[in-house]
Structure 1
Amino acid sequence: MPDIPYASALIVGAGAGISASLARKLAGAGLRVALAARSTDKLAALAAETGALTVAADAADPDAIRRLFETVDAQLGAPEVVIYNASGRLRGSLADVDPEGVRKAVEVTAFGAFLTVQQAARRMLPGSRGAILLTGATAGLKGYAGSAAFAMGKFALRGLAQSAARELGPKGIHVAHVVVDGGVRSAARPDPAERPDSTLSPDGVAQAYLDLLRQPGDAWTFELDLRPWVETF
């Protein structure tokens, strides 16, 4: 399998789980890594382990995302891989859910992704190379009762990914939308004893992202859906 043809990566919406596994695997593959989150306190141990740069940024704030990229430019160089992993979740019935909470959830999941893709594209277009990976979910394919805010954001994210891939792909930039179709395993969310392998391993998901980055330009994947082997769909 060829080496990853990129030197630096930025993960927006970093934390435990998928993004932590991504940081470890990207750093292990030799990439310089930057991690962005609303609060960077929770990233200290991961940054120490991976040598990553950490930057505090509100994903839904245009000025904050602009400053984030400028900081990464100055300290690591313009990121050649950009991964958007931030999302806003809010549960509640349509009759009762808080409208302001819905607005904020959609802003983080979708508008923040647009801001990130825009800044990434501005840096990647001059060199006609780079990769933008967007973390989707089952909710981007079908909405569930009590989860309208999450579905709205993830549906918009998928539309952004489709438009970005059609616009940027012919210009040398690989855009991919990864549908994480299931719960992600963690210490707080282990597999039930009666259903082993019923959640996704964060390391397994991260490995799929790295496989996308290794694809040759004449065989790029746009949409990849991941689920546990025991899941029906």
Structure 2
Amino acid sequence: MTNNTQTPEGYAPFDLYPYNPSQGPAYAFLGLFGAAGIAHFIMMFPYRSAFPIPMIIGCGMEATAYWFRSRSHNNLRQTLPFLIQNLLVLVAPPFLAATIYMSLGRITRALKAQEVSLISLRWITKLFVLVDLICFVTQTAGAIMSGSEDLDEAKRGQTIIIAGLVLQILAFALFIICTLTLQLRIRASPPVHCVAGVIAHYRRYFIALYCTSGLFLLILKSQRLDVLKEDLP
């Protein structure tokens, strides 16, 4: 609903949300992402690995996004909290996805299974990270536009966000196919340089990739896509 009176600076003349964001779930997700980020940060030191840095950055962004989302409760027209939470909640998943994409390449090298990879190991990480970068730029631009005080520009920003989300969903679908193909080929014909015990040991990591990719990022994107579609006329 628009307001015919003069709009205060920093506020939109229309509701930025089609609903009133709840503080309880926002604080819950803040705690979950914050705890996950802290846990990965602590684990970096005993393992002496910088591998989880994108995951830590992504968790920090998500936690910050949900804090700003809680500020929008009963404050549906203030642009700054909406813009920051919308920006962070959309650009954080590419950082989380980058860690998962790199995990497949690391598992493939550890199993010495380069010859059975669906996509050449030389290109697989580069391909998915490139798509991740495109999604990052697209969703950043769309999130900034969606926080505009101009209604038409805000709607264009939401359309751009949807395009970026669709691209990332397709990329994750391809990633899951590559992961499943690798596991099935290893099971059917184990690499000659890899003993059976090592393959069995790494089965848990394949399961982790499926769970993380499917339940967290892919479903998260689908739910976010549904919300954005509801916002469009």
TM over 0.5: no
Higher helix proportion (structure 1 or 2): 2
Report the TM-score when normalising by structure 2. Answer: 0.28
Report the TM-score when normalising by structure 1. Answer: 0.28
Choose 1 or 2 for highest CA Rg: 2
